[in-house]
Structure 1
Amino acid sequence: MKKIIIVEDNKDVQEAFQLLIETQTSNYEVVNAYGTCEDAINNLEVDLPDIVLMDIDLPGMNGIEGTRNIRQTLPRTDILIISVHENSQYVFDALCAGATGYITKNSNHTQLLRALDEVSAGGAPMSTQIAKLVVKSFRRESESPLTNRETDVLNLLAEGKSYMDIADQISVSKDTVKFHIKNIYLKLQVSNKIEAVTKAKSEGFI
Structure 2
Amino acid sequence: MPEHPLRLMIVDDHPVVRDGLRGMFEGVPDIVVVAEAADGHEALALTRAERPDVVLMDLRMPGLDGVGAIERLRADHPAVRVVVLTTYDTDADVSRALTAGAAGYLLKDAPRDELHQAVRTAAAGGRVLAPSVVSLLMGRMTPVPAGAPSPRELEVLKLIARGAANREVARALLISETTVKTHLKHVFAKLGVDNRAAAVVAAMERGLI
> Partner amino acid for 1:135?
M
- Aligned-partner Cα distance in 1 for 2:100–2:55: 14
Aligned length: 141
Distance in 2, matches of 1:106 and 1:116, equals 15
Letter of the aligned partner of 2:74 in structure 1?
R
Residue aligned with 1:43, SS: helix
TM-score (norm: length of structure 1): 0.65
Taking only the aligned residue pairs, the percentage that are identical comes to 24
TM-score of the superposed pair, with normalisation by structure 2: 0.64
Q: Say if 2:35 and 2:46, in contact at 8 Å, map to a contact too.
A: no
Quick one: which amino acid aligns to residue 121 of structure 1?
A
CA shift for structure 1 position 21: 1.0
Q: Following superposition of structure 1 onto structure 2, how do residues 160-179 of structure 1 map, counting pairs within 5 Å? A: none
- Which sections of structure 2, spanning at least 5 residues, go unmatched? 146-209
CA apart distance, 1:75 = 0.3
In the other structure, the counterpart of 1:22 is 26
How big is the alpha-carbon RMSD for the aligned residues of Structure 1 and Structure 2? Answer: 1.5
Whole-angstrom CA distance in 2 between matches of 1:114 and 1:28:
10
1:117 CA displacement: 2.1
Q: Contact (CA 8 Å) 2:37, 2:46: kept in 1 or not?
A: no
Structure 2 distance, partners of 1:37, 1:128, is: 26
* 2: CA distance, partners of 1:43 / 1:58: 16
User: Comparing both chains, which one has the higher relative contact order based on Cα–Cα distances under 8 Å and sequence gaps of 6 or more?
Assistant: 2
1:39 to 24, 42, 65: 42
The structure in which a higher percent of residues are helix is: 1
Is the partner of 2:128 in helix, strand or coil?
A: coil
What is the DSSP-based 3-state SS (H/G/I as helix, E as strand, rest coil) of the residue aligned with 2:85? strand
CA distance in 2: counterparts of 1:141 and 1:90, whole angstroms: 24
Select the residue among 93, 97, 100 that pairs with 2:96.
93
**Gap change, CA 1:42 and 1:132, over 3 Å in 2:** same
- Cα deviation for residue 141 of structure 1 reads 8.3
- Name which one, 1 or 2, has greater alpha-carbon Rg: 1
Task: Flag structure 1 segments of 5+ consecutive residues without an equivalent.
Answer: 144-206
- Specify the code of the residue in structure 2 equivalent to 1:21: F
Distance 1:54 1:36 in 2: 9
